[in-house]
Amino acid sequence: MTERLEPDELRQRVMPVAPAPVPHAGPPPKRLAFAAAHTDLAARARARLIARYGDVPADDAEVIVALGGDGFMLETLHQILGRPIAVFGMNCGSVGFLMNAFGEDDLPGRIARAQEAVLYPLRMHAETAHGVGHEALALNEVSLLRQLRQAAKLRVTVDGKVRLPELICDGILISTPAGSTAYNLSAHGPIVPLSADLLPLTPLSPFRPRRWRGALLPSTAHVLFEVLEADKRPVAAVADFTEVRDVISVAVREDRTRSATVLFDPDQALSERIIAEQFTV
């Protein structure tokens, strides 16, 4: 006789159950620093939390609690890049993809139970037409964007090999896995899990080659963008909050010497959010 299995039992036999994520270890933190975006909502939340849990300078804190939206979280993460401190965000903004739900109760306990996500930035080195070099880090993406009405012309080289001799487009971006759900997703680029060690390379409104939709590069890749006809078709480069105009070349690579640690409630880990985003319709 054939054994009849219910759907849940069948799924468990066919697909092994993934191990539960390891929570952030350690006792509840005693030294919290509260940072708030420049909004009334975030400022009022900060005042209430300080009255309840106290506040220490960021340099003396075990954890920084960021109150705001995703933009403010990015600002906070840039400030702590390379420092041995974690950030626990609570949403006082709109989307809040990088934030936890706001709540005032048992905050040290929530932080002690949280899961860690370690983010590595992209390092951009941009050279301008005036012979000036600029360095910047990006936790979301590095993008090249046309400055005027005409499309940009770019040459794309990966690890010393020219992959696209000429790309005519509005621009191009390379994103981190964490940033793959931001501008990259809006440009129809692929969402990449945190553990994939891949960097999405996504064109913005490509005209030639018309059918090219981007690539997935290993996280070790060194990418060089060269601007063709820069005088006629000027291009700006943007690394998160840093914009450099009139660039002629932009080199991008992942920088594993710097990192930022973000804490998430156990049922809302960043890796799970990235996977779930792929099934959002």
The CATH number covering residue 88 comes to 3.40.50.10330
Q: What percent of the chain has pLDDT over 90?
A: 79
Residues 6+ apart with CB under 8 A from 247: 126, 127, 128, 129, 144, 227, 230, 235, 236, 237
264 and 224 in a common domain: no
116 and 126 in a common domain: no
Work out how many domains the chain is built from and give that number.
2
- Which residue, chain included where needed, has tokens 């930035």? 121
- Where in the sequence numbering do the catalytic residues fall? 70
Arithmetic mean of pLDDT over the chain: 90
Q: Kindly tell me if the per-residue pLDDT of 207 is higher than 60.
A: yes
Of the pLDDT bands very low, low, confident and very high (cuts 50, 70, 90), residue 11 is very low
- pLDDT tens digit sequence for 60-95: 999 999 999 999 999 999 999 989 999 999 999 887
- Does residue 206 belong to any structural domain of this protein? yes
Q: Kindly tell me if the per-residue pLDDT of 205 is higher than 60.
A: yes
- pLDDT tens digit sequence for 241-261: 999 999 999 999 999 999 999
148 and 248 in a common domain: yes
Q: What percent of the chain has pLDDT over 70?
A: 91
Contact (Cβ atoms closer than 8 angstroms) between residue 260 and residue 89: no
At residue 12, the pLDDT reads 44
- Does residue 68 belong to any structural domain of this protein? yes
Give me the DSSP letters along 72-103: HHHHHHHHHTTSS-EEEEEE-SS--TT-BPP-
91 and 162 in a common domain: no
More confident residue, 3 or 140: 140
At residue 276, the pLDDT reads 85
- Does residue 18 belong to any structural domain of this protein? no
78 and 61 in a common domain: yes
Contact (Cβ atoms closer than 8 angstroms) between residue 181 and residue 164: no
Of the pLDDT bands very low, low, confident and very high (cuts 50, 70, 90), residue 270 is confident
215 and 108 in a common domain: no
Domain that holds residue 134: 122-254
126 and 163 in a common domain: yes
Of the pLDDT bands very low, low, confident and very high (cuts 50, 70, 90), residue 25 is low
Nearest to 27 by CA among 115, 97, 108: 108
- Does residue 10 belong to any structural domain of this protein? no
* Greatest alpha-carbon span in the chain: 80
174 and 140 in a common domain: yes
Lowest-confidence pick of 55-59, 81-85, 271-275:
271-275
> What's the CATH code of the domain at 210?
2.60.200.30
How is residue 34 written in tokens?
């509260």
Q: What average pLDDT does this structure show over 155-182? A: 96
Give me the DSSP letters along the chain: -PPP--HHHHHHHHSPPPPPPPPPPSSPPS-EEEEE-SSHHHHHHHHHHHHHH----GGG-SEEEEEE-HHHHHHHHHHHTTSS-EEEEEE-SS--TT-BPP--TTHHHHHHHPEEEEE--EEEEEEETTS-EEEEEESSEEEEEE-SSSPEEEEEEETTEEEEEEEEESEEEEE-TGGGGTHHHHTTPPP--GGG-EEEEEEES--BSTT---EEEETT--EEEEEETTTTS-EEEEETTEEE-SEEEEEEEE-TT--EEEEE-GGG-HHHHHHHHTT--
- Does residue 242 belong to any structural domain of this protein? yes
How is residue 41 written in tokens?
């909502």
- Does residue 21 belong to any structural domain of this protein? no
- Does residue 131 belong to any structural domain of this protein? yes
Q: Kindly tell me if the per-residue pLDDT of 281 is higher than 80.
A: no
Q: Kindly tell me if the per-residue pLDDT of 111 is higher than 90.
A: yes
- Does residue 166 belong to any structural domain of this protein? yes
- Which residue, chain included where needed, has tokens 């370690």? 118
210 and 144 in a common domain: yes
266 and 151 in a common domain: no
What's the pTM? 0.85
127 and 175 in a common domain: yes
Residues 6+ apart with CB under 8 A from 23: 113, 114, 115, 266
